[in-house]
Amino acid sequence: MLAASEKDKSFIIIRLSSLGDILLTTPALRCLHKTYPSARIDYLVKERYAELLTGNPHLTSVIPFPEPADYDALSKIVTRLKGNYSTVIDLHTSLRSYQIRKRLDADQVYHYKKRRFKRWILVNCKRDYYPADFSIPSAYIDAMAPLGVEDDGEGMEWQNAYGCRGQFLQKAMLDTEPEIQPIALCPGASFATKRWVQKRWVELAEKLLKGDAPIWVFGDDSDRETGEMIVKIDPERVVNFCGSLSIPESGAGLSFCRYAVTHDAGPLHMAAAVNTPVLAIFGSTVPRFGFAPFRIPHRIAEIDLSCRPCSHLGFNECPKEHFRCMKDLSVERVLELVKELEGEIEE
């Protein structure tokens, strides 16, 4: 257990998962550290995501939550950490994080409010009661407002991605960063209703390759097929990195790109965290849930339909069986938004 003087200035942040959500906490970590520069600030996260926070200068330590993160693992981690912190800040607000924060025996406990009712109303009644300009990173900072933490107006951070730039260049068989910034295409998403039609990605790549910029495709093993289809357009100017990079290495690769085209998924926030502009395609979900690209030049590609949003997460198939939110989104419309984004980047 920490000495009393240390405990008086100790915080533990709880955000167990997932990739994008953890990156979205980085502005709040920075603002907390600016307010309490001498404090101990630890972060509890599932071990598979711990590398996202490696090298973060605003944290004293990253505590991996052993997986499968079951009740036995929870009891062990609570026993290890109980009584060590004056303040617990729960930025996950799940049943599991609730069990942890209640058992850590901290003097102060704060948590992020998920606005579940507002979300339910927007999905089921199509009525929007979210605050103006609502964003998840800002909501994380708001959860710390009782501690005197204020928004510094800056964006996200991902130090480990920048630290892996050399590793990425080695894997990409490049001696130096590319002279012409590539365009990043990120065709993956965890749910089918978040994914643009595959053939549209290929059509988009064909159009983009009429310009000077090469294309780099990022994603996991499930995106490899789409990446290979894009490579066939021009094997000399397209590189498929899907399934061949670690998460920080993917972030490093995105940091070299002029802009990224993504879905409402992890790569959106990965790109934003390395200061790469984003064109984000939204299907079954909507930016009002707070997951629009944060404080980075961006454009949103979406179709205005009465059935949107049908979910705050996504489905494996369209509940209306027409999937118009993605099928009606044309390559031409995405290219129009790309042109707008390019104009903003060049200003």
Q: Is the peptide bond before 246 cis (omega within 30 degrees of 0)?
A: no
Which pLDDT value is given to residue 9?
85
Which pLDDT value is given to residue 2?
42
Task: Provide the β-strand partners of residue 263.
Answer: 281
Residue 77 sits at φ, ψ, to 5 deg, of: -70, -35
Q: Structure tokens of 77?
A: 């981690």
Which pLDDT value is given to residue 182?
98
Q: Would 4-157 and 160-346 be classified into the same CATH topology?
A: yes
Distance CA 93, CA 312 (A): 16
The helix/strand/coil state of 175 is coil
Spell out the alpha helix ranges (H) of the chain: 4-7, 19-23, 26-35, 71-81, 95-103, 116-125, 136-143, 159-163, 165-171, 198-208, 224-231, 247-255, 266-273, 324-327, 331-346
Query: Where do we find the tokens 């707008």?
Result: 340
Distance CA 180, CA 242 (A): 21
Looking at domain 160-346, which CATH architecture does it have? 3-Layer(aba) Sandwich (3.40)
* pTM check: above 0.85: yes
Judge contact between 52 and 250, C-beta under 8 A.
no
Give 163: exposed, middle or buried? Use CB within 10 Å, 0-12, 13-18, 19+. middle
The mean pLDDT value of the chain amounts to 96
Which pLDDT value is given to residue 4?
40
Domain residue ranges of the chain, discontinuous segments joined by +: 4-157, 160-346
CATH 3.40.50.300 fits 4-157, yes or no: no
Tens of pLDDT, residue by residue over 312-327, are 999 999 999 999 999 9
The ranges of the chain with pLDDT < 70 are: 1-8
Distance CA 239, CA 312 (A): 32
Which pLDDT value is given to residue 8?
58
Which pLDDT value is given to residue 320?
96
Distance CA 281, CA 327 (A): 12
